[in-house]
């Protein structure tokens, strides 16, 4: 009926994961002989009994931003299917549902951006609702990687706020060692990820934390755009879903095997004051090209201009708190 906004019921695996209800999945993996634990709300670990270092350690996080729902749906369906043939799981897995309250509210965050709190120095973010959650995630992550072997991955699955020249892209910390970085880039290619941004410095994100403190091949993966839980077009995640399923089952990736375009970070634009103004609208698509000398933003007396012959703008967001990243300028290198 036109104008009828009765919510459509969610598929059960999606409802369960979005509410951090691991009951059915945990029960199936437990019955298959795995050691299953829930170290904190919304955090599930599934490990083979015996020697943890013998298997790859894979951390998957979703819902670090509460309105980024596509990956929650994708992972919910994958995990539900895998749990029905649980003995096929070939990794030690930690699954985190990041910001449970924000998912419930359908918002990016409640008080402040959880994905800026994975660092010791939190400034004005300390004491927010999300700071305590970041502490829980950090403690569980340290435990999980603490007894892991050399193969350590962290896929932090997000979606972007605005449209993008590359609908799927990833941010990869530069500090990841050569060999695991190569494996990660290959996997991102198989997952159909169109672009990779190499990031030289932490702005407090979860994936950078895992890379920096636990030697994980960590990455933030942007899969399409924010959307309403249960209403995402999962067809756009087919390659990513297949590649993730392959990783969980320890089979060689059967995906397309394209190489993503590679970008280096030219500059992270930090909002210095409430006077921060961008020279373009915040709806500007990710990877919009700008030419040398063009103004990017100004903040009081500080004027940011494009330094390279061409730079592309990613995540333009003047509405962030003072002290946080308001945008990323990148240059194509591959």
Ligand X SMILES: O=C(O)CCC(=O)N[C@@H](CCC(=O)O)C(=O)O
What element of type H or E holds 289? strand 288-291
Query: Is 222 marked active-site?
Result: yes
Q: How far is the CB of 69 from ligand X (least distance, A)?
A: 13
Residue found under tokens 């399409």: 224
Orientation of helix 206-214 relative to helix 129-146, angle to 10° = 40
Residues that bind ligand X (CB under 6 A): 65, 115, 158, 160-162, 171, 205, 207, 220, 315, 317
The rounded distance, in Å, linking the Cα atoms of 149 and 60 is 17
Q: Which is nearer to ligand X, 93 or 328 (CB)?
A: 328
Characterise 142 by phi-psi region: left (phi > 0), alpha (psi -120 to 50), beta (else).
alpha
Q: How far is the CB of 158 from Zn ion (least distance, A)?
A: 3
Q: How far is the CB of 54 from ligand X (least distance, A)?
A: 30
The catalytic residue among 222, 283, 295, 311 is 222
Q: How far is the CB of 30 from Zn ion (least distance, A)?
A: 31
Q: Which is nearer to ligand X, 82 or 185 (CB)?
A: 185
Q: Which is nearer to ligand X, 205 or 242 (CB)?
A: 205
Contact 304, 295 (CB under 8 A): yes
Does residue 54 have a known ligand-binding role? no
Task: State the number of CA atoms in the 13 A half-sphere of 158 facing the CB.
Answer: 22
Q: Which is nearer to ligand X, 73 or 246 (CB)?
A: 73
Does residue 12 have a known ligand-binding role? no
Q: Which is nearer to ligand X, 86 or 171 (CB)?
A: 171
Q: Which residues pair with 264 in a beta bridge?
A: 198, 331
Orientation of helix 23-31 relative to helix 70-83, angle to 10° = 30
Give the closest residue to 229 by CA, choosing from 80, 7, 2, 53: 7
Tell me which residue has its CB nearest to ligand X: 220
Which of ligand X, Zn ion, none does residue 205 bind (CB under 5 to 8 Å by kind)?
ligand X
Residues that bind Zn ion (CB under 5 A): 65, 68, 158
Contact 78, 64 (CB under 8 A): no
The rounded distance, in Å, linking the Cα atoms of 180 and 150 is 10
Does residue 213 have a known ligand-binding role? no
Q: How far is the CB of 105 from ligand X (least distance, A)?
A: 16
Contact 295, 313 (CB under 8 A): no
Task: Give me the active site residues, please.
Answer: 222
Binding site for Zn(2+): which residues?
Answer: 65, 68, 158
Binding site: which residues?
Answer: 65, 68, 158
């Amino acid at each position: 009926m036109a104008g009828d906004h009765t919510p459509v019921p969610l598929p059960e695996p999606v409802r369960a994961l979005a509410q951090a209800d691991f009951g059915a999945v945990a029960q199936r993996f437990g019955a298959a002989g795995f050691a299953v634990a829930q170290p904190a709300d919304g955090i599930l670990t599934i490990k083979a009994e015996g020697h943890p270092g013998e298997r790859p350690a894979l951390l998957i996080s979703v819902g670090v931003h509460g309105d980024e729902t596509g990956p929650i749906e994708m992972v919910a369906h994958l995990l539900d299917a895998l749990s029905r043939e649980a003995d096929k799981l070939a990794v030690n897995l930690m699954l985190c549902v990041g910001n449970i309250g924000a998912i419930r509210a359908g918002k990016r965050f409640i008080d402040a951006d959880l994905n800026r709190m994975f660092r010791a120095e939190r400034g004005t973010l300390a004491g927010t609702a999300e700071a305590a959650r970041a502490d829980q995630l950090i403690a569980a992550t340290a435990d999980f990687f603490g007894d892991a072997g050399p193969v350590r991955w962290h896929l932090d699955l997000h979606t972007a706020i605005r449209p993008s020249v590359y609908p799927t892209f990833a941010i990869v910390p530069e500090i990841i060692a050569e060999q695991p970085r190569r494996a990660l880039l290959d996997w991102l290619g198989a997952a159909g990820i169109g672009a990779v941004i190499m990031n030289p410095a932490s702005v407090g994100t979860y994936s950078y934390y895992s890379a920096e403190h636990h030697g994980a091949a960590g990455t933030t993966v942007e899969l399409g755009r924010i959307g309403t839980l249960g209403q995402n077009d999962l067809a756009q995640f087919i390659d990513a879903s297949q590649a993730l399923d392959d990783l969980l089952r320890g089979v060689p990736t059967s995906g397309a095997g394209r190489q993503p375009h590679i970008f280096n970070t030219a500059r992270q634009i930090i909002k210095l004051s409430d006077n921060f103004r961008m020279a373009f609208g915040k709806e500007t698509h990710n990877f919009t090209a700008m030419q040398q000398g063009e103004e990017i933003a100004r903040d009081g007396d500080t004027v940011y201009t494009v330094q390279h012959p061409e730079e592309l703008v990613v995540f333009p967001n003047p509405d962030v708190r003072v002290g946080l990243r308001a945008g990323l300028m990148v240059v194509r290198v591959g």
